[in-house]
């Protein structure tokens, strides 16, 4: 019998399965976790609700949690990031309940999250804290049953820390994003590559010779800026943090305020995790046919409400994932992916090789929170260093790279204060 689900079309499953297996080849660390989980069943008896981008990489995480003994319900963490063939295969081939359809409207998006929560989860997993938000508002009757929640992204962790500060967090949360094996690689190299992939798939534009404005020089911004520069763009960074602005300058980028970069940019990419970073006053100054997109978590970085109101004409879908807004001054602004994360809306998100580390950390953090359930307070917890070190060591091994070990003399030297002069 088919498990409960709401996906686009189960007949897409065969294509999805091939792609899940393709991704799995690049996820050796997660596969090792899965093998052990299958033997030891550390998640047996636990019900999990996961709200993640429903990609082939997430499929391999879901298989790992299932191998560990969890009963899982999966829904999307963004209305545009679901891969429908993959969702179909998870249901049909792997017996995992999925509630996600690419392009679902807001009402369906929330309905799907609510159905996933109907599993009455003991563990939740979020990319952006949406499940946790529901568990503290319209579904708060379920919060007492939650042992712990894992959070995948920077914006989610920021929201959860704000809840902790206000003393309202009802269960422990693990900041998976803050593990080094997550944000050092996923946010930087993953977002760097997949964001450009999304822009190119949506536009077919050449990057070389363009002026590209990257808003935010955090982990994601560093990745995006270095990759567009590598493709031959003159790259401009905007920031609000003076230290990050110096870093961008010393990394060789132009740094200027949005008001100045708006006049010169051909392509704008926001990755700040902030709201209204590109506003009407900026859109008005842009060149004709300027391309604007976002790769930060929520679709609030571009003030599209204002653009919608002020534009004298809007042509939706001039290409797939491209809407054209004509301003009163006659200039056209091309908005990609409705301002939603372009790497998952127009492309397939981060490559499997980098999600291997993020999702190995997710699975191990889940196991750790279950083992330590009696000790965890209702706060945001760090992933233990031992998890980071284990994942890093196995990733290196899978890449065929070995490194040096400290000699006993070196160990002594590094822990002493009387040697060396």
Gap between the terminal Cα atoms of the chain: 74
In eight-state DSSP terms, residue 183 is I
State the binding partner of 187 from ligand NAD, ligand ADE, none, CB within 5 to 8 A by kind: ligand NAD
The one among 31, 240, 280, 306 contacting ligand NAD by CB under 6 A: 240
Please, are residues 71 and 48 in contact by the beta-carbon 8 Å criterion?
yes
Question: Rounded to a whole number, what is the largest CA-CA distance in the chain?
Answer: 74
Contact string (CB under 6 A) for ligand ADE, positions 38-77, x = contact? --------------xx-x-xx-------------------
Task: Indicate the residue among 123 and 293 with the shorter CB distance to ligand NAD.
Answer: 293
Tokens of 100: 């996600």
Tokens of 102: 């690419």
Residues 332-361 within binding reach of ligand NAD (CB under 6 A): 341, 343, 349
* Of 140, 28, 12, residue with least CA distance to 82: 12
State the binding partner of 277 from ligand NAD, ligand ADE, none, CB within 5 to 8 A by kind: ligand NAD
Task: Indicate the residue among 3 and 264 with the shorter CB distance to ligand NAD.
Answer: 264
Please, are residues 75 and 53 in contact by the beta-carbon 8 Å criterion?
no
Altogether, the residues listed in the chain come to a count of 421
Q: How many CB atoms lie within 10 A of CB 230?
A: 13
> How many whole angstroms from its chain centre is CA 81?
10
296 near ligand ADE, rule: CB under 6 A: no
Which residues, at least 6 apart from 225, have a Cβ–Cβ distance to it below 8 Å?
214, 217, 235, 237, 248, 251, 253
Which residues, at least 6 apart from 421, have a Cβ–Cβ distance to it below 8 Å?
none
The one among 77, 83, 149, 154 contacting ligand NAD by CB under 6 A: 154
State the binding partner of 239 from ligand NAD, ligand ADE, none, CB within 5 to 8 A by kind: ligand NAD
Coil, helix or strand at residue 71:
strand
Coil, helix or strand at residue 273:
coil
State the binding partner of 183 from ligand ADE, ligand NAD, none, CB within 5 to 8 A by kind: ligand NAD
The one among 239, 266, 356, 388 contacting ligand NAD by CB under 6 A: 239
Residues 190-249 within binding reach of ligand ADE (CB under 6 A): 190
* Of 98, 87, 122, residue with least CA distance to 13: 87
Give the integer Cα–Cα distance in Å for 200 and 192: 13
Which residues, at least 6 apart from 102, have a Cβ–Cβ distance to it below 8 Å?
8, 79, 80, 81, 82, 83, 84
Give the integer Cα–Cα distance in Å for 70 and 49: 10
Residues 266-285 within binding reach of ligand NAD (CB under 6 A): 271-274, 277
Task: Indicate the residue among 123 and 352 with the shorter CB distance to ligand ADE.
Answer: 352
Contact string (CB under 6 A) for ligand NAD, positions 26-65, x = contact? ----------------------------------------
Residues 242-261 within binding reach of ligand NAD (CB under 6 A): 244
Task: Indicate the residue among 196 and 290 with the shorter CB distance to ligand ADE.
Answer: 196
State the binding partner of 58 from ligand NAD, ligand ADE, none, CB within 5 to 8 A by kind: ligand ADE
350 near ligand ADE, rule: CB under 6 A: yes
**Nearest residue (beta carbon) to ligand NAD:** 218
Residues of this chain that interact with ligand NAD (CB under 6 A) are 153-155, 183, 187, 191, 215-221, 238-241, 244, 271-274, 277, 295-297, 341, 343, 349
Residues of this chain that interact with ligand ADE (CB under 6 A) are 52-53, 55, 57-58, 190, 344, 349-350, 355
């Amino acid at each position: 019998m088919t498990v409960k689900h709401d996906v686009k079309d189960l007949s897409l499953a065969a294509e999805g399965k091939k792609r899940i297996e393709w991704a799995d080849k690049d996820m050796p660390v997660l596969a090792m976790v899965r093998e052990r989980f299958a033997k030891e069943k550390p998640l047996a008896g636990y019900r999990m609700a996961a709200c993640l981008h429903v990609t082939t990489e997430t499929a391999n995480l879901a298989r790992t949690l299932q191998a560990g003994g969890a009963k899982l319900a999966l829904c999307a963490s963004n209305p545009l990031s679901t891969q429908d063939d993959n969702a179909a295969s998870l249901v049909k081939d792997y017996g995992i309940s999925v509630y996600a359809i690419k392009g679902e409207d807001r009402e369906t998006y929330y309905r799907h999250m609510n159905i996933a929560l109907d599993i009455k989860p003991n563990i939740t997993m979020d990319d952006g804290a949406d499940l946790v938000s529901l568990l503290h508002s319209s579904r708060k009757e379920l919060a007492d049953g939650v042992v712990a929640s894992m959070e995948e992204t920077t914006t989610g962790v920021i929201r959860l820390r704000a809840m902790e500060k206000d003393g309202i967090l009802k269960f422990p949360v693990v900041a998976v994003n803050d593990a080094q094996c997550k944000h050092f690689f996923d946010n930087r190299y993953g977002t760097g590559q997949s964001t450009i992939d999304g822009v190119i798939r949506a536009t077919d534009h050449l990057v070389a010779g363009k002026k590209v404005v990257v808003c935010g020089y955090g982990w994601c911004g560093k990745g995006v800026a270095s990759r567009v520069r590598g493709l031959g763009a003159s790259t401009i960074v905007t920031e609000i943090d003076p230290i990050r602005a110096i870093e961008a300058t010393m990394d060789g980028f132009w740094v200027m305020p949005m008001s100045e970069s708006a006049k010169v940019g051909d392509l704008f990419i926001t990755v700040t995790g902030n709201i209204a970073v590109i506003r009407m006053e900026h859109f008005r100054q842009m060149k004709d046919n300027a391309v604007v997109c976002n790769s930060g978590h929520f679709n609030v970085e571009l003030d599209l409400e204002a653009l919608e109101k002020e534009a004298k004409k809007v042509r939706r879908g001039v290409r797939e994932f491209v809407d054209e807004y004509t301003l009163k001054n006659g200039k056209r602004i091309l908005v990609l992916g409705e301002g939603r994360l372009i790497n998952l809306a127009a492309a397939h998100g981060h490559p499997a090789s980098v999600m291997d580390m993020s999702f190995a950390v997710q699975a191990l953090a889940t196991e750790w929170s279950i083992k330590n359930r009696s000790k965890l307070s209702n706060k945001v917890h760090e992933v233990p260093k031992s998890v980071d070190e284990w994942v890093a060591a196995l990733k290196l091994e899978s890449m065929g790279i070995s490194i040096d070990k400290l000699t006993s003399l070196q160990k002594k030297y590094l822990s002493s204060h009387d040697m060396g002069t």
